[in-house]
């Protein structure tokens, strides 16, 4: 006997509820394609764990991340989107209509699918890191570096993203303490050279983060040398984790083309995937920019692409 309790057919299914998903919903609703949106495990996406957002157009005084996503949701609802709580747990894109299972108990048959499942930052796994997330700990220097102008910060990571973010922070902060696990970086040679030649970036080789210190906000980081075991406390106000992101794309493997890191590949200049009628937008397909405004823009693209596709059915 099947565990599936209900089957429902929808015209346009949107999976995910960050800026990309909600923007897709706004445009799809206005186009009268009657979108159904499932919010996923983290309604509102990564912005719900962000404090103040100052770089999104239209909020001259800045806005709290969770508040902004409530605004997005309200607008999508006002336009007529059917917004539901639930997590897509499995898909079958081998034939039309496309099948998506929600919470392993509801089966959705969709004429078109917009994937906006986002990406999740990789974390170090420290208790203090999660406790102080949003209070000095961040996984996005471009998003939050502005708040630490004229202050000392630390960043952990050794790839191109870490190097780029360290350089970005070096233009705002007095000193950037860069924590690198090995005696070399994984970043490209040109990025390494830029970091090494920037006076206010101090690199700690063969080092790892032992603990982030502070009760209500970040006050210091304790760095441990992996060769000597020596521990050093460095006073800082901001701690940035730049060890990569993981796109939330696992359930689409085997159906959609992805790069080696799992980001869904779209046809350049569009949100189209390798499967007709399945579109991807936001951070699940963007490993370069990863900003709320670019995610929203790609959500608009996905809705317009879906509208054109559905109009041709």
Q: What is the CATH number of the domain that holds 70?
A: 3.50.50.60
What does the pLDDT read at residue 1? Answer: 40
Same-domain check for residues 46 and 83: yes
> Has residue 111 got a pLDDT over 80?
yes
Separation of CA 282 from chain center: 8
CB 47 within 8 A of CB 292: yes
d(CA 15, CA 73) in angstroms, rounded, equals 14
- State the pTM of this model: 0.80
CB 39 within 8 A of CB 45: no
In a domain, 1, yes or no: no
CB 243 within 8 A of CB 156: yes
Q: Which of 218, 241, 264 delimits the end of a domain?
A: 241
How many domains, in total, are found in the chain? Answer: 2
Look over the chain and give the mean of its residue pLDDT values, rounded to a whole number.
94
Determine the Cα angle at 310 with ends 309 and 313, to 5°: 95
Q: Is 40 left (phi over 0), alpha (psi -120 to 50) or beta?
A: left
In a domain, 71, yes or no: yes
Q: Which of 193, 219, 241 delimits the end of a domain?
A: 241
* Greatest Cα pair distance in the chain: 67
In a domain, 189, yes or no: yes
Same-domain check for residues 230 and 254: no
Domain of residue 107, residue span: 6-120+245-311
Residues 250-266: what's their mean pLDDT? 97
CB 131 within 8 A of CB 123: no
Render pLDDT for 2-54 as a digit per residue (tens, 0 to 9).
455 699 999 999 999 999 999 999 999 999 999 999 998 777 777 776 667 88
Q: Is 31 left (phi over 0), alpha (psi -120 to 50) or beta?
A: alpha
Crossing angle between the packed helical segments 65-79 and 19-30, to the nearest 10 degrees: 20
CB 118 within 8 A of CB 299: no
Instruction: For residue 225, list its beta bridge partners.
Output: 207
d(CA 89, CA 51) in angstroms, rounded, equals 29
What does the pLDDT read at residue 175? Answer: 98
Same-domain check for residues 67 and 107: yes
> Has residue 160 got a pLDDT over 90?
no
Render pLDDT for 40-49 as a digit per residue (tens, 0 to 9).
877 777 777 6
Q: Which of 241, 259, 291 delimits the end of a domain?
A: 241
CB 297 within 8 A of CB 305: no
Same-domain check for residues 70 and 111: yes
| Residues known to be catalytic | 140, 143-144
Percentage of the chain modeled with pLDDT above 90: 83
């Amino acid at each position: 006997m099947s565990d599936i309790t209900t089957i429902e057919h929808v015209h346009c299914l949107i999976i995910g509820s960050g800026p990309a998903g909600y923007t897709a919903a706004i445009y799809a609703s206005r186009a009268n394609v009657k979108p159904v949106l499932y919010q996923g495990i983290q309604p509102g996406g990564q912005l719900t764990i962000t404090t103040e957002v100052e770089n999104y157009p239209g909020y001259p005084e800045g806005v709290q991340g969770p508040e902004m996503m409530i605004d997005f949701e309200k607008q999508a609802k006002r336009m007529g989107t059917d917004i539901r709580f639930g997590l897509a747990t499995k898909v079958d894109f081998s034939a039309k209509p496309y099948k998506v299972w929600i919470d392993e108990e509801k089966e959705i048959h969709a004429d078109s699918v917009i994937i906006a499942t986002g990406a999740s930052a990789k974390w170090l796994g420290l208790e203090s890191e999660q406790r102080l997330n949003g209070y000095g700990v961040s996984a996005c220097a471009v998003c939050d570096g502005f708040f630490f102008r004229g202050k000392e910060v630390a960043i952990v990571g050794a790839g191109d993203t870490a190097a780029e973010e360290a350089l970005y922070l070096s233009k705002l902060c007095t000193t950037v303490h860069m924590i690198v696990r090995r005696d070399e970086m994984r970043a490209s040679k040109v990025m390494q050279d830029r970091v090494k030649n920037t006076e206010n970036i101090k690199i700690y080789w063969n080092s790892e983060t032992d603990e982030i210190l502070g009760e209500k906000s970040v006050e210091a980081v304790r760095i441990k040398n992996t060769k000597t075991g020596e521990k050093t406390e460095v006073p800082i106000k901001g701690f940035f984790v730049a060890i990569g992101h993981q796109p939330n794309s696992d359930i689409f493997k085997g159906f959609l083309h992805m790069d080696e890191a799992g980001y869904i590949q779209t046809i350049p200049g569009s949100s189209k995937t390798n499967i007709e009628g399945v579109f991807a937008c936001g951070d699940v397909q963007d490993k370069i920019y990863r900003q709320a405004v670019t995610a929203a823009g790609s959500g608009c693209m996905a809705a317009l692409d879906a509208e054109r596709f559905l109009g041709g059915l």
